[in-house]
Every structure is written in C-alpha cells, then in structure tokens.
A and B are shown apart, each in its own frame.
Chain A
Amino acid sequence: MKIIDMIKICLQNLLRRKSRTILTVLGVVVGCCAIVTMLSIGIGVQNSQQIMLEGMGDLTLIQVYAGGSNAKLNDEALNKFQKIANVDVALGKASLDNIGYTIYAGEQNRYQANWAQIVGISEDAMEKFGFELLEGTYPKSKFEVLAGQFTAYNFMDSQRPDGNNMIDRWSYMYQYNPDTGQDEYNEDPELPDPYFNMLGQKLTMELYSYEDYDKKITQEVTVTGIVKQDYNKDYATSEGFIFFTSDLDALEKLVYPTKTQNNKNESTYNEIYVKAMDISQVADIESEIKKMGYSTYSMESIRKPLEEEARQQQMMLGGLGAVSLFVAALGITNTMIMSISERTREIGVMKALGCYLGNIRAIFLMEAGFIGLIGGIIGAGISFLIALIINIVSSQMQFESIQQFFEVLPTVMDPANSPVSIVPLWLAGFAILFSIIIGLGSGFYPANKAVHISALEAIKRE
C-alpha cells in the first residue's frame, strides 16, 4: 500500500467522526498549552534573571585579586591567565599613584579640569576589553588616550565668571516636575554641548608629586576616541581618561625620576580582569585561576544558584504541564479503541481483501499521530496567544486603538524587556514534536488491537 493512500484513509477516518476527533484534539491542545505555557514562564524567569545579572555587570568577566606572596598582579600573571583555555583576554588595570594633576585644554589653556579619573589598561587588551567607542578610534601610539563620555563636562572655562563657568551635568539628571512637586531622576537627559569638542583635543597635563607641589611637570596627550559610559568597566568611561599602562609608567617616571624600577615581584596592577569567551566557561576558568593561588570574583557565584533555582522551577512547571498532556494521551487511546471497535468489520474486510498487517498498524498509528500533530500545532499557536495576553496584562500597557495594539506587540514580546512568558521557536517546535510522539505512543496499543482483529469479522453475520 502506498503511504499517500494510507494517509488518505486515516484522514477519512478522522473526518468521519468529526466531533469525537475535535474533542480528542482539544485534549491534546490543552495538554500542549499547559506544557508550553508553563515552560515559557520558566524561560521568562530565566531570561529576566539573565538580564538582571547582565545589568549588574559583564557575566563573562572575572576579577582577580592578589593572593599570597607568589600571586602578584604583574605581567607574568597576565601571561599565565591569557594562556588558560577559553580566555578571551586577560588585562591589567593600573592607576596613577601618588601624583597630583591638573589637565588643561584649548588655546592658552582656557579650559581646566582639576579632577578626572585616570586609569591604565594593558596595551594589547584595550580593544578586547570591550569599551564601546562612541567616536574616534582606539589609541595607537604613545600618549594617546580615550576620554570618557562625559569627561568634557569636568572642564571649567577660565574666561567665564565664577559660579557660571561649568556645565553641571548632574543638575540635568534631577529635574523638578511641577505635577508631582518632586525632583525626578532622568538617567539620560538632553545635555547642552560641552564647551569644546573632546575628540582629537590636545590636552596638557600638569603633574606634581605630593611631596613637592611646586615642582610641576607637563606632558601633552591626545584624545583619539570617546567611549560610552560603563561603570562595570571603569569610572573613567564616564569622567576620565583611559591610558596605556606603559604611558602611566612613563608619567610616574617623569614625576619620580629617582625612584627605582618596580621590583619584578611587586604588583604592577591594581586589578586584573580575565574575560571568558562564553558564560559557560567562567566557572572552569575561575577554578583554574584559584589553583594558581589568586582569589577571584565573578557574577558566576550569583548566577549559578539562580540558574539552578530557575531550572528546578522550570522542571516543576513543565511537570505540571506534562500531567495534562498525559491525560490527553489517555484520551487519544480511548478514542482510538472506540473507533477500532466500531470499525471491527471494516478492518476484517480489509484483511480479507489482502491488506497487510503492517499497513493496518500504520493507518491507526497515523491516525493517532495526526491527532497529536494537529493538537500540537493548535496548542503551540494558542500558547503563543496566551503568552501574549500574559505579557500584555503584566506589562500594564495601555492602548486605545487596534493599530496601537499591534505597535505594542513586538515590544511586549521582546525578551530584552523581561516579559513574564517567552515562547521561543524551539519550544513551539518541541511542543509539536512531543505531541506527535504522545499521539503515536498512545496509538500503539489500539493499533496492535486492530492488527489482531480476525479477517473472519468480515464473514460474520449480524
């Protein structure tokens, strides 16, 4: 028998008893919806956790602290970390210690900053560390630096009257709202342009040691790029400058020419960061670094138990859904047994006319599988609608027109907005596949029953 003929017969059989087929399919739909909705909420929880953690910091970043006498934060350590498997980059962060500085910009040093965060990043790692450039390029040569997003606002204009010679960036972030009568915080306000354009600016640094304030040394640096503010990387990305560590060393030497070269065993970095290729490798890399005698900190210690909890929650929710799909499976079995006992004579006739046993089994398995397939497809579709409704209700979005409703849809379902329920494509596919398997599984016993019906049934008289 050709497969197409078997499919046709099984479809004809399903259509003969429409209401029964629909009710059985409905059972599968409910089961499928239960599983998908439960799992989608679990995925939503996991997604929200992930977003929350990412907000707290780079999940792939491991911070390394100095350990005992053999675990210094120096170049040697940096090289060792870089060689660990799956490490994207290892970098050192240094600061300008025991040196005071004033920074000037513009003609005749018109603009002046008394304070700006200065940090040194090891040369070869700067790009890989993932500073987000808003403008310009990464520094290439000596005394080229990156400036933070808002560094320009740290400069005051010496030609304006006192008290009105600076743009107070913070005052824009707290605006008085006449409706509520309170100051409201705005993270990203419209700021006026700074007094001068930082990009490409030649700055003059005036350096002095705390031991001798009068002995001033100047050094010119050039800003090649502006980076986006990211407190997780360094405060310098907001209000400061990012140097190569070698340049910081050079500045130190200018101020303290007599100071001996750093002992090889001394720590040269304040902090070392190790960035993993992927979140999943963080734990392994951390334990590797710990073996070398350092202490570490990463988001992994928070992420792991959260993930574990989310997984348990998901299993429990999925289990609840699975129970209802199991009930649906019983429904399919029941329907198939009923339909087979109704069709005993037909099956007997088919056998008497030379239908192979395998064909009869296949026809009934297909029937059960079809019920699963249709239930799965409808169930997956409805689950998506359920997810939509859950997300709309939980987001408390308001909309007046249908058009507005459709505009809101992509926002509500976007995983980036931490929706309560997420139905990824793989989940829908998995649900349909699972429903088919459930259908086939529950059709197995009835199909076997059909196969064992005797051809004699055809001859029997009523």
Chain B
Amino acid sequence: MEDTAKKTPAVMIKVRNLRKEYRLEDDTVVALKRINLDIMQGEICCIFGTSGSGKSTLLNQLAGLEKPTFGDVYIRGVPITQLSENELAAFRQKHIGFVFQSYNLLPFMTATENVAMPLMFRGESKRLRTKKAVAILKKVGLANRLRHYPRQMSGGQQQRVGIARAFVAKPDVVFADEPTGNLDSKTTIEVMDMIKAFARKFNQTIVLVTHDPEMAKYADRIVTLVDGKIVNDTKVAKGEKDEQTT
C-alpha cells in the first residue's frame, strides 16, 4: 500500500501563477512573482530562503491566511483563495494544522485545553476532545504536563504542545513556520523528529518554512526562494534513514 502511494502520490497543494504585491504608500513591493508549485501528499517540503525572500509570504498564501493579488492555491483540489472567511475556517478545522515559531499557546489554557482547542472549534464534546488531546500529549512525552499552563513549561515543552495541537485533528497539511527558531540545537532535533514521525505515520504533508540550512536534512524536498521567485527545487533522495525514523 505504502509503496503504491509513493509511486503515484496525489497532489496535495497546487499553486498556480501566484503573485503577491504589497502597497506601501506610493510604492508597490512585489513579494511573490508568478509562483507555480505542486506539493505531494506525504511530502515534507522545506521552503528555504533568507529573510525578505518571500518565504513567509508564500506560507501565508498557501495556508489561506492572506489573499494573493493574483493566482490560485488549491489544497486537495479546493481553491482556498476563493473561499470566504467562514468557509476557510471550516476548511482549516478539517485539513490544516499549524506549528508556530513562538508556539502561540493561549496563556489561560492548560496544555490539554490548548491541544483540544481545534477540536473545540469543531464543536466536539469536552470528553471526546480531552481524550484525544491527552492521548497525543502522551505521544509527545508530556504525560506529566497535562494540566500545566504554558508559562510553567520550557520552550521545548511548549513547542511539543504546539505540535500536539497541530496534529490532534489529523489534518492533511501541517504548516510549520520556523518551528525551531526559538529552540536550542538539542530540542530542535527532538522537535523535528517528532514532526517527521507524525507526518510519516499518517502520510501527512508538511510545509516547513525556514532560513536554517540545517532543517533541510529533515525534508524530502527543498524549495529555495530568492526575491519572491523559486530559484531551486530539489528532491532529496529517500534512503533507509527515513524508514528508521518512522
């Protein structure tokens, strides 16, 4: 099964002629110029670029956080650039997860409540969503931090809560925006291994935005952006290493 899936992978994210301009007083800055990109199901795609390269802008467009000036983004064939805010919310609940650089946990909620939040937006009962949240928190190794508030946890622990929150609803795509930007090298490895493990297990697509070349080693594919244009798109050969991390 897995082999056939790898041989004919479905396109998860389809980007066509994407252009994004920002108006600054009289000036118009073009952040993205005619981006065309296909990201497959199960692919861990690293969008790499220096600051100002447009990589964050691209992530915003892919995740539907911002409307492009021109062009379309399809996720699972759905043109998310055409959706209304509420349709987008419903779409995100089902298909999209986020891991943020600054974790973005809600300070007045416990670890469990933070993880259960996307399920709460979907209207799941407290009992069911708590059960799911606790299960995934155990998987990220925070079984003894269930009732802790974000301020009572270290950066690495907070980011693990963030990862649990991104994956709890079993989304098709998880967008990770510099997920290890605030972490030391040891925790970075832990966190990245965790993301990769989850993605492999459920054949999920990860879009990883980073300026850190080190991150590239976790990716199946590296898309390099310079001045809002894709200058390089490399597939990393899949070896035995992947099998081991699963």
Known: A352-B65, A356-B90, A456-B66. A1 touches B100 (CB 8 A): no
Contacts of A461 in B (CB 8 A): 101-102
> Could you tell me if A352 and B60 are in contact, using CB atoms closer than 8 angstroms?
no
In the bound complex, CA of A350 to CA of B121 (Å): 9
Question: Are A459 and B177 in contact (CB-based, < 8 A)?
Answer: yes
Query: What are some 6 contacts across the A-B interface (CB < 8 A)?
Result: A5-B120, A13-B108, A353-B118, A356-B90, A356-B121, A458-B100
Would A1 and B121 count as touching, CB distance under 8 A? yes
Residues of B within 8 A of A349 (CB): 100, 104, 106
A residues 162-178 in Cβ contact with B at 8 Å = none
Give 10 closest A-B pairs by Cβ, nearest first. Answer: A354-B93, A354-B92, A349-B104, A455-B65, A355-B121, A12-B108, A353-B118, A354-B89, A354-B121, A356-B89
Across the interface, do A5 and B126 meet the contact criterion of CB distance under 8 Å? yes
Q: Are A456 and B65 in contact (CB under 8 A)?
A: yes
Instruction: Specify which chain A residues have a CB less than 8 angstroms from the CB of B59 in the assembled complex.
Output: 459
Contacts of A13 in B (CB 8 A): 108
* A interface with B by C-beta (< 8 Å): 1-2, 5, 12-13, 16, 345-346, 349-359, 454-456, 458-459, 461-462
Chain B residue with the shortest CB-CB distance to A456: B65
Segment 49-93 of B: residues with Cβ below 8 Å from A: 56, 59-60, 63, 65-66, 85-86, 89-93
CB distance from A354 to the nearest CB of B (A): 4
A455 CA to B98 CA in the complex, in Å?
Answer: 12
Determine if B96 is an interface residue (Cβ-Cβ < 8 Å): yes
Bound Cα distance from A352 to B105, whole angstroms: 12
CB-contact partner of A459 in B65, B90, B117, B120, under 8 A:
B65
Question: Measured between C-beta atoms, what is the minimum distance from A19 to chain B in Å?
Answer: 16
Residues of B within 8 A of A (CB-CB), count: 33
- Given A352-B98, A458-B98, residue A357 in contact with residue B104 (CB < 8 A): no
Could you tell me the distance in whole angstroms from the C-beta of A339 to the nearest C-beta in chain B?
12
When C-beta atoms are compared, the residue in chain A nearest to B178 turns out to be: A461
Interface contacts beyond A357-B86, A462-B102: sample of 4 additional A-B pairs, CB < 8 Å, sorted by A: A1-B121, A349-B106, A356-B90, A459-B100
A346–B121 touching, CB < 8 Å: no
Cβ of B138 < 8 Å from any Cβ of A? no
Asked if B122 is an interface residue, CB under 8 A from chain A, the answer is: yes
Chain B residues closer than 8 Å to A456, beta-carbon distance: 60, 65-66
B123 within 8 A of partner (CB): yes
Bound together, the chains give a CA A351 to CA B109 distance in angstroms of 16
* B131-145, CB < 8 A from A: none
**Most central of B63, B86, B120, B177 by chain A CB within 10 Å:** B120
Asked whether A351 and B89 contact (CB < 8 A) given A2-B123, A455-B65, the answer is: yes
What separation, in Å, do the CA atoms of A355 and B63 have in the docked complex? 15
Cα separation A16 to B106 with both chains bound (whole Å): 12
Q: Which residues of B contact A12 (CB under 8 A)?
A: 108-109
Cβ contact within 8 Å between B89 and A355? yes
On chain B, the residues within 8 Å of A353 by CB distance are 92-93, 98, 117-118, 121, 165
Chain B positions within 8 Å of A2 at CB level: 120, 123, 125
* Least CB distance, A352 to chain B, in whole angstroms: 5
Nearest B residue (CB) for A349: B104
In angstroms, Cα B91 to Cα A355, docked, is 10
A346 to B121, CA, bound (A): 14
Closest residue of chain A to B104 (Cβ to Cβ) is A349
- Measured between alpha carbons, how far is A179 from B242 in the docked complex, in Å? 111
CB neighbours of B101 from chain A (8 A): 461
CB neighbours (8 Å) of A351 from chain B are 89
Instruction: Among A351, A356, A359, find the residue whose CB has the most chain B CB atoms closer than 10 A.
Output: A356
- B126: chain A residues at CB < 8 Å are 5
B177 to chain A, nearest CB (A): 6
- CB of A354 within 8 A of CB of B96, answer yes
Chain B positions within 8 Å of A346 at CB level: 106
Please give the distance in Å from A209's CB to the nearest CB on chain B: 97
Complex CA distance for A455 and B85, rounded to whole angstroms: 10
Find chain B residues with CB under 8 A from A357 CB: 85-86, 89
